Amino acid sequence: MAKSEREIAVEVICGKWGNGNERVVNLVNAGYNPTSIQKIVNQIAHDMVEYEQAEKHYGKEILEVNVDLSKYGALVLNFSGV
C-alpha cells in the first residue's frame, strides 16, 4: 500500500527524502508530486507555528516549536516539552 502524501510530507520534515534537488528527484522517482508534498510540508509548518503562538498567547506552553527554513529550504523542527 502506497503512503499518503501527508505521510511522505512528515518523512520529508524528518529528512528522509534528502534536501533540495535531491529530494525532488527522490520524490519523483518514487512516484510522488514534489510540489504537492511541499504544500503539505508548508501547511504543517504553518500549523505548528500557529499552535506555538496560540499556546504562548494563552500562557499554556505545553510544547515549544522552533522552525528553521534557512538551510536548503528544509524544515527542521526541534521539540522540547515543558
DSSP string covering 43-67: HHHHHHHHHHHHHHHTT--SEEEEE
Alpha-carbon gap, residue 70 to 53, rounded angstroms:
20
Three-class DSSP category at 37: helix
Mind listing the pLDDT tens digit for each residue in 4-38? Answer: 999 999 999 899 999 999 999 999 999 999 999 99
Query: What is the pLDDT, as a whole number, of residue 76?
Result: 54
Is residue 82 scored above 50 in pLDDT? no
- The contacts of residue 75 (CB under 8 Å, 6+ apart) are 12, 13, 41, 44, 45, 67, 68, 69
What's the whole-number mean pLDDT along residues 58-74? 58
Are 69 and 35 within 8 A, CB to CB? no
Is residue 80 scored above 70 in pLDDT? no
